[in-house]
């Protein structure tokens, strides 16, 4: 079974430039998460989707960050314009649908992440 | 809201020695608990999880964790560490409803001395 796919793996941009990250979740997973992981810290949730709906975007800095999951499968996270403080690893994770089998509800499967460096 | 603490920022052990990584959580009800491992440049891999039932949970790679409600802890253990276990370990707490998020601890970095 293929895992969560993310691209690109690395990205270096200058501040004020736009950047986009792409994620393809595990087949059949309805829930998709975007996290930001700063150096030496645990992941912090940016946004969670259930199918096409963003059910939790309370931690997403909406002035510069946007995300979409138009067909309920793959997703794109965008930053425009990027700032120096946005340098981090952006992780995508997917999980089984809420209300599914007990034990699958909260297990998230992570992609390898996109390492962003803003200069 | 739930929270997670991992008191040890960094731990060094000798290969073959036993390991215990500490995790304490705060949550109003019985939580879902997880341990993830992250190797350098990689995403997070699930080691084990606790949802209910037996408080001693077995995971992959020879790891186990024990849920202690009275201590609000979910410590990770391994009887004999291998050099390949050197990585960052994250404890996480989730909720029983779809309205709560999974919160990750700050992580414990494990170094293994040959």
A91 interaction partners in chain B (CB closer than 8 Å): 43-44
B105 interface with A at CB cutoff 8 Å: yes
B59 interface with A at CB cutoff 8 Å: no
Residues in chain A: 119
**By the 8 A CB rule, do A32 and A49 touch?**
yes
Q: What is the pLDDT of residues A32-88, one digit of tens each?
A: 999 999 988 999 999 999 889 998 898 899 999 999 998 889 999 999 999 999 999
Cα separation, A108 vs A2, whole angstroms: 14
Name the residue of chain A whose CA is nearest to B101's CA: A45
Q: What is the pLDDT of residues B67-114, one digit of tens each?
A: 999 999 999 999 999 999 999 999 999 876 655 678 899 999 999 999
Largest distance between two CA atoms of chain B: 45
Per-residue pLDDT for A19 more than 60? yes
Q: What is the pLDDT of residues B11-69, one digit of tens each?
A: 999 999 999 999 999 987 778 899 999 998 788 999 999 988 889 999 999 999 999 99
B32 interaction partners in chain A (CB closer than 8 Å): 105-106
B98 interaction partners in chain A (CB closer than 8 Å): 50, 55, 98-99, 105
> What residue has token string 């370990």?
B89
pLDDT at B73: 96
């Amino acid at each position: 079974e293929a895992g969560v796919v993310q691209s690109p793996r690395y990205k270096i941009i200058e501040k004020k430039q736009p950047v986009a990250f792409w994620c393809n979740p595990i087949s059949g997973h309805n829930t998709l998460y975007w996290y930001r992981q700063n150096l030496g810290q645990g992941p912090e949730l940016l946004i969670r989707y259930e199918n096409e709906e963003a059910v939790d975007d309370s931690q997403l800095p909406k002035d510069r960050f946007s995300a979409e999951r138009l067909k309920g499968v793959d997703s794109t996270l965008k930053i425009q314009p990027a700032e120096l403080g946005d340098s981090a690893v952006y992780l995508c994770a997917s999980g089984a649908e809420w209300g599914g089998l007990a034990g699958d509800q909260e297990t998230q499967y992570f992609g390898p992440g996109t390492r962003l460096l803003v200069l | 809201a739930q929270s997670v603490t991992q008191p040890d920022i960094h731990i060094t052990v000798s290969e073959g020695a036993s390991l215990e990584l500490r995790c304490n959580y705060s949550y109003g009800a019985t939580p879902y608990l997880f341990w993830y491992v992250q190797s350098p440049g990689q995403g997070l891999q699930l080691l084990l999880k606790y949802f209910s039932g037996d408080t001693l949970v077995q995971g992959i790679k020879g790891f186990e964790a024990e849920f202690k409600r009275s201590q609000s802890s979910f410590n990770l253990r391994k009887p004999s560490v291998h050099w390949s276990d050197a990585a960052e370990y994250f404890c996480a707490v989730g909720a029983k409803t779809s309205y709560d998020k999974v919160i990750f601890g700050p992580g414990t970095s494990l170094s293994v001395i040959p």
